[in-house]
Amino acid sequence: MIGIPLCHDANGRIRAGREYLYSDIAYARAIERAGGLPVHLPIVGTPAPLIEGIDGLLLPGGDDFLPPDPPEDPSVFTPASDAQIAFDSALLEAALAAGRPVLGICYGAQLIGRAFGASFYYHLPAECPEAGEHQLDEAAGRHPIEVEPGTQLADAVSPGPHEVNSLHHQSLRDPGPQLRVSARAPDGVIEAIEHPDHPFCLGVQWHPEKLAGADSEALFASLIAAAHDALR
């Protein structure tokens, strides 16, 4: 059973005057194809008990983290709600404390980085103009990455060059002292991070749930396998 926290629409984007929790169905379908049972996790005041009912955690993509200082151009940000970030952070902490495997995707990878002191590029085009374009067409846009050998990611998809989709304008600038970079794009932008002291704590910047092929299948299968291992 793989828990997937729901995204929080706190500002009436779906329907004015209401708050909604929602999820891209692609995450649940990817978990099901890999042999797991997806379980959606709503925002609640005490998230730790939810961990007792799941065997692994998938932190999906979501909205943006805001920079510490007011941005020059607020229009480039769609901020994640404070409730979303607080809930997901507590959920991640509880999952790792309980030995549950964790896979973070895009926002989820950045949340893992945030939990362990990583620094951010809050808007790549402005803060790292030498980087290539990372907000590519969802259907056809791809760029290469290089997966580092000897990493959890390499165990899942093999080391060396791979091709991924790319839908982000934020990324981790530096992983901090506790995390390891397990993949980069040719421009140096971090594409995956992991925690070497946990059996499976991995974050990827791309969206494997939207990307058909053996690599994506292997990544979700690795999460399911890690959840089985944790039960032994």
Q: Which residues are catalytic?
A: 106, 207, 209
> Of how many residues is the chain composed?
232
User: What tokens were used for 61?
Assistant: 């993509």
CA 64/CA 198 separation, integer angstroms:
26
SS3 content of the chain, % helix, strand, coil (to 5): 30, 25, 45
User: Residue 95 belongs to what H/E stretch?
Assistant: helix 82-97
Question: Helices 82-97 and 107-115, interaxial angle, to 10°?
Answer: 70
Q: Is 24 helix (H, G, I), strand (E, B) or coil?
A: coil
Task: Work out whether strand 171-174 and strand 180-184 pair parallel, antiparallel, or are unpaired.
Answer: unpaired
Separation in Å, CA 22 to CA 3, 41, 87: 14, 10, 15
CA 216/CA 11 separation, integer angstroms:
32
| Contact status, residue 201 vs residue 112, Cβ threshold 8 Å | yes
